[in-house]
Structure 1
Amino acid sequence: MIVHDGSGNPVQGVTVTFAPAAGSGSVTGGTQTTNGSGIATVGSWTLNTTVGTNTLTATAAGSGITGNPVTFTAEGTAGAATKLALTTAPSSAAQSGVALAQQPVLQLQDANGNPVGQSGVVVTATVSPAGATPSNATATTASNGSATFTGLTLTGTAGSYTLSFGATGLTPATAGITLSAGAASKLALSTPPSSSAQSGVAFSQQPVVQVQDASGNPVSQSGDLVTATVASGPAGATLTNATATTGATGAAAFSGLAISGPTGTYTLSFGASGLTAVTSGSINLAAGPAAQVAFTVQPSNTTAGNIITPAVRVTVEDAFGNRVTSFMGGRPTVTVAIGNNPGGDTLSGTKSKLTGTGGNAGIATFNDLSIAKAGEGYTLTAASTGLSGTESAAFSVTPRAAKLLVFTVQPSSTPAGAVITPAVQVTARDSLGNTATSFSGTVTVAIGSNPAGGSLSGTKNQTAGSGVASFADLSIDKASAGYTLTASATGLTQATSTSFTIAAGAAAKLALTTLPSSSASSGVAFTQQPIVQVQDAGGNPVSQSGDVVTATIASGPGGATLTNATATTGSSGAAPFSGLAISGPTGTYTLSFAATGLTAVTSSGITLGAGAAATIAENGGNGQSAPAGTAVATPPSVIVRDGAGNPVSGIAVAFAVTSGGGTVSPTSVATNGSGIAAVTSWTLGTTPGTNTLTASATGLTGSPVTFTATATAGAAAKLAITTEPSSSAQSGAPFAQQPVVQLQDANGNPVSQSGVTVTAVVASGPGGTLANASATTTGSGAASFSGLTLSGTVGSYTLRFEDTNLTPATSSAIALSAGAATTIAENGGNGQSATVGTAAR
């Protein structure tokens, strides 16, 4: 500071005391004396450690010194960042894998603990001791020097940890935290299942499964259903008692869990909804207790009487098909027998065997079994006391070589000429009586005993198939009792059948002994009614009553029907028809006559003509329109048909106009070969509107037929005045009544046509002119004049209204009078001379 006298001169030797205010730091050399320049300087002023304003006073000794004391201020600012401090501590407790509920906030500070505003410093969180790892473990300072963490999470083993927050060159800040288990994430085997077990037997050590978080910490979570499944191992295995539920500690203890299936090495998987499954170590599964027997070498196909090879083997198994090799009660005995027995035979050989030892333990071998009778589909059964029995796969016993022939289907009595049914069958057999299925030679049959000298027809030589020859088409033509057949084949003993009878032939077909008429009318019974006879296959009449013979149309135009179309055979086998008739379109027909079980017969052609006329109907020309007074374009016509719809010719039809006027020609017409009657012309009345015409034929349905046609106005041909102009008028003044002119056709019918320009001209009179002398027709065909004016010499006039190509119309007389006075002019007496005092003449 500096001290002056009243004149501004520096004063030397004044004692000055420097004193910092509270919280404003400290000074050295706090008492000083002004020097020759009047200046006193404190030794040093050290600011307070807290950021903010510091105050220092300098007081000069003495009184009356203006400005005494002098106050100094200095601003204390933060120093360089040297450390980190937690302004928001992290949660003191957290779950593994779950973000801290309270995320930490770190502040940069100088050595005195003042906040330092500095952005871009990366603060990193680390954990000690080992066992947990942080994620989202960095945060960067903002401009105020604060770093706020987001999503900071510890994942690891539950326990107590220290979080350290550090940055390059700065003293870190720390906080303690207790880590507990996180959310349930996976399963773990706290007790694994036994490493070896028997199929179908519960594990001696039942597994215990623990719920854990992602870091392997046990999670106390009850109610999770844990399911065991086979993860690996031979196919087809199943588990029993395969679920357990976690208790309060999160542990699920299984009870009675067992694998049932083929022996081998397995692993099990334990899973629960929403949790990662755990897989067990290897489990060696051995066979379970003996439960059943099974054919492990099936009986194979063999020849009758020969030993079945290879030897049949039956194995003792547990319930899941695993071979059992040790038995507490000693080796079991297995007994075999025939199961399915298509040949009705008995099993030969040693049928009960003790199971083997060593490599054959649990196996019974049968090496001398045989069956004498051939058949397909044999099976063997195997049984052992206390165990479930079994049945083998099917096998066949084939016969030996053929030795003789036998009739295995004998010929049966049958009608003459009819095939012997069932088919005769001859079989080749071996020495044991089995069908020799390998025989495929030719077998020949012939008549043996032939009492009537009949002939055998059909295929008499057949090649055997599987040792059997069938003769499906044999027949004999002569009737008699006592026939036999013989069967022979090269190298085999011949066979002779039992005796049989050939009777008369059975009814086989129908024949027409009387044909229906070759021509007929539709709906009219045939003049000659048909008679149908039952016959056998050879064409002989068969006396068989009660057969219903039905006639149907075999060919002809579609839509025809028959009446009285059935007849029944009498005792002679004949069926006479009565009243049989065809109703339908004309043309050529054939009829088929049939009865159940008999071959039908078809008639010759029948020419069908039309029947009696039954209906009349419109054929054409209805609903037309034409200008009034002209003929319609299509002359009306009707068609006459019989009851089946066939056209009928020669029917008289009367035509008559019934409304609208007009004429028809001719008034009576006969139908032609197509059944059609048509007029030559129908001319409509001269007045627009509906015209009707009837066509009648006595006694026919649909009569009379009514035709309608609409008469329309013709083309415009002339003009007509519908409103006359005024009968009197003043020259130069519009008619008080303006004329209206109408377009008309030649018959005087109004014609609706717009756009026709009608022009008025003076038709007669002493001489005049017209103004506003044209008008145009509207859609109705009317032209209304407006302002039509006649100017000219007074007198009587007529007007004519005309248009190109139309006949004009002429008005009634019009008396034209003088118009209003408009001028004055000399009329006479100009330019005279007369004596004064006298009148001019």
Structure 2
Amino acid sequence: GGSTLGGTTTVAAVGGMASFGDLTLDKTSSGYGLTATATGLSTATSASFTITAGTATQLVFGTPPSTTIAGREISPAVKVRALDALGNLVPGFTGSVSVALGANPGGGTLSGTTPVAAVGGVATFFDLSINKAGSGYTLTAAASGFAPVTSSAFDITPGTATQLVFTVQPSTTVAGAAISPAVQVSALDAANNVVPSFTGPVTVALGNNPGGSTLGGTTTVAAVGGVATFSNLSLDKTSSGYGLTATAAGLSSTTSSSFTITAGTATQLVFGTPPSTTIAGRQISPAVKVRALDALGNVATGFTGDVTLALGANPGGGTLSGTNPVAAVSGVATFFDLSINKTGTGYTLTASAGGGLGPITSTPFDIVPGNATQLVFAGQPTSTVAGQTITPAVQVSALDPAGNPVPTFAGTVTIALGNNPGGSTLGGTTTVSAVNGIATFGDLSLDKTSTGYWLTVTAAGLSSARSVSFNITAGPATQLVWGTQPGTITGGTIFSPAVKVRALDALGNLATDFTETVTVAFGANPGGQPLVGTTTVAAVGGVATFSPLSVNVAATGYTLTANATGFAPVTSVSFDVLVGPPTHVDFGAHPHDEVAGVVIGSPFVRLRVEDAGGNLVTTATNAVSVALGANPGGGTLSGTTTVNAVDGLATFDDLTLDKVGIGYTLVFTSPGLTGQTSNTFNISPAAAARVVFTVQPTSTTAGSIITPAVQVTAQDQFGNVATGFAGSVTVAIGNNPGSSTLGGTTTIASVGGVATFSDLTINNTGTGYTLTALAGSLTGDTTASFDIN
């Protein structure tokens, strides 16, 4: 078996016996024998024995795969052996062994019986094959409990070419452009592997040709490496469902998958359905169509841009209506609702689109008129002065539905006022016969001014029409009239509504251009007072408005007159001025100068309750109150200070003031009414009733003049200085603790009610002196005590 003897092969004998306890052999076989030798002894040989394999632990390819033609069985048959750990075949192994592709450079499929049960430790694969050519295939072998193993590399080579196939199919391409990527046809063996050795000519042609196209480019090509490449094939007509066929001598032919030829970029427009002669205003039928074509004349179905139509030749001055522009659908823009509203011979349309397409011009066509169906104002009425003829003459035309004149219409047309804001009468000839389709109204007029007039026209069988609005203005002003007459008012209130004077033309229309000055004045004036307010006003729009304007004095039978240069004066209706409600109080009699304590009378103070015009409101019973306004003397107002009016008069018959002063005023108020302040008045003192020391004596040294000088003043009963008193006043010692004599001038004549004693002396000292003052029948006075030192 070619084994190696392992273990201890030389040992020392013990008791004449040598024991070898660890001998081994590594290779299986039968008929092994051992020899034993020792120095000086003869050699011995053992009986023969067998070495068997251990347990299988690994797989190996006994016969690896070899280079084979694609699709044929690999020969010799591939074998896989099960070995023990020492590499001995394990004949007892009968397990299943599977093989599979390891490296698969050709993308092939492994065919044949796998797995296979091992026999005597060997699994033999008799019918393995691989269908795809490739260099560097490997197989892997595996069994349960074993690590897989990989074979050495091998090749699968193609067989003889038997067929053609399109390995690069023709793809959807623009008409006229080379099909890209280039079409390729390969020569294959029976297992569909490219046969690189095939170099024969291959021819392509159109199989299915739905668009009637011509196949351009090189259609016969010699194969290189088994592949024929057609790099410049093209078709000139668009369609879907094209197919190519490929043929080569001795090989089965093939047909490509279907493909589509699409249009190139749109380069031009054409009228697919040109416009045709149509009645004005009706839709052109059949619908106009514009096609976008590529350079080869194919409809550019990918074109979806907007196509715009316009009038080219426009002999009738018409307007093109309808949906425009229109977005193309699959390269065609269809204009379903085009119409032209004016008649004419030799119209054309132009079509254009973005990207520089067009414009192109259609063939000529005509637009013809329809029947008369309506009236329109061809010459509208214009603003005119009342009573004058509307110029230029109003004209009415008969039109077809599209608004084209119908010259054959000769019917009668009647005109009337449609809107009549001024209540006017339409003068002139209002029914005329049309001439060449036009009715002319040459003498129309209106007599009343207003804005917003309009006319209507009618004719049998035709729809009526309405004119534009127009105005009738006034002529020059020739007269004044009262627009708003003065009405009954209360005294002092403003006329409401305001008095207005209007300037009219000869037909009685307001002359809105009149802006001259108008003056109003009293005609009848039973109250005898002037007219109050704005009496001269410049007219605005022909109207002079007088506000504010009022009459103060209540009376009956007033009238006003209105005047303006160049116009006859006009007189208003008569009106009355009534006493109005109370608004204020005013003085019937002001307070006057009076003596202190004496009732202010002759006459008594009296207040009137009046309306806004100053008329006495005799029905008024309002309470009127009085109080001091200016109070220069610090006086007190006595008497009845709140009085109820009687017949509109409040009389204060017991008012007095107790302090003299210059410039007193009284303030009168009444709830809800405007009050009044009186004129100034003065209060003078009453007759002297007493004398009083107004400068007291002061303590002084004996024999010296008392300083400041002692003064004695004559006063009335209210304490006012009696300035009119000029009588003599005498002073004397009252209390005389020092038994003194009063020296100096002791009797003095008063000046302005005051007696001044400037040289009084007392000769003896004493504490508690007083002086006394006497003046005839007046009540005297005693000073406060003082001392002489």
The alignment's TM-score, normalised by the length of structure 1, stands at 0.39
TM (normalized to structure 2)? 0.41
Larger radius of gyration: 2
